[in-house]
Structure 1
Amino acid sequence: MAAPLNLEEGKSSTRPPHFKGHFYSWWKVRMHDYLMAEDNELWDIVLDGPFVPTIEEKDGEKTILVQKPRQKYEEADRKKIENGFKAKTLLVYGIGPDKYNRLSACESAKEILDCLKTAHEGIEQVKESKIDMLTSRYENFKMK
């Protein structure tokens, strides 16, 4: 994880860390810490996705889960939904307008982080390929 050479941005406990398109791994760790400091549930929401209130309904012999109607939401349901929007808002505040255009269609904090991760770290196959390439370059270097 490389940190930027020039830390232009001041450290603030009231604003999320700003991602300018470089040093994604560094920003992700800072955003993790920021969200955990705000509320320890926020990072879980980013990783797991938004909370959807459900109720059990009988369908003949089976019991199935269906989404609750808004009128039946309890206070705990509303709080969890609110935390989902808070996590999304803090992530959006942490990105610039150039990245926002790419992420504006995302509906949850998890989708935003997944899009950023794919764009800046690649999918698992790409990461494994890079590791293999760098390992072989290192081994060839040792031989020379």
Structure 2
Amino acid sequence: MFSREDYDDWKIRMQAHLAAMDDEMWTVITEGPLKIMKPNLAVAVTNGEPRYLEKPRHEYTNDDRKKSNLDNVARDILYKTLDKDKNIALNDMVKEYMKLSHSFEEAKAENIILKSSSIESSSDELEDVYNLNIELSKLTAENDLLRNESSELKAEVERLTKEMSSWTQSARAFHKLQEIQKSAHDRTG
């Protein structure tokens, strides 16, 4: 495990290592998994720019699969720097965050499509929009809660790292004291 003092050095080395594997790897770490997109042909082109939607996995090309897998590769590399207990806790948290993020993005995309639609909305559609807004608010609140939990976990990791460092120093001092006592005992004994 690394200490706070070693973090900057570790981050620079990790960025270089990940960039050597793929230029977009650090982007995956800082911004989340890459979304493979395709033009949405069902929606009209706006200002000469097509609208995009997420491409289904069965339509992925080999390059799309490689980009989609960058998140897994990056997490694998980062998890190898964590001890087992932190890895399990962070993995569960990341899975939950990804699930909520995906649901949030789906609700957000659906909300945008409904807002941009020029068709008169019926009362059922308005109710759906209202329900989506409620769901979006819940997901946003849950997302904020997960971010707070993530911050708390990071603080706990930092505290435990300091404590482990203190224990290591104490153990070294104790071992040194034992060696001194043993050599003193050998001389007198």
Q: TM-score range by the shorter chain?
A: 0.5 to 0.7
CA shift, 1:31, in A, is 1.6
1:119 aligns with 2:154: yes
Give ranges in structure 2 of 5+ residues lacking alignment. 102-146, 156-189
Greater share of residues in helix: 2
Report the secondary structure of 1:106's partner residue.
helix
Aligned residue type for 2:9:
W
Q: Count the aligned residue pairs.
A: 97
Cα displacement (A) at 1:119: 2.3
TM-score of the pair, normalised by structure 2: 0.42
Residue 54 of structure 1 is matched in structure 2 by 37
Counterpart residue type for residue 69 of structure 2: E
Look up the match of 1:106.
94
Percent identity between matched residues is 26
Which residue of the partner structure matches residue 142 of structure 2? Answer: none
> 1:30: Cα distance to partner?
2.5
- RMSD of the alignment, in Å? 3.1
Higher strand proportion: 1
Whether the aligned pair in 2 keeps the contact of 1:36 and 1:43 (CA below 8 Å) is yes
Partner of 1:79: 66
Higher Rg of the two aligned structures: 2
Task: Please name the residue that 2:83 is paired with.
Answer: 96
Change over 3 Å in CA distance of 1:66–1:89 after alignment to 2: same
Q: With CA pairs under 8 Å and 6+ residues apart, which has the higher RCO, 1 or 2?
A: 1
In the superposition, the TM-score normalised over structure 1's length comes to: 0.52
Between 61-70 and 47-56, report the one with greater CA deviation.
61-70
Q: Matched residues in 2 for 1:48 and 1:84: separation?
A: 10
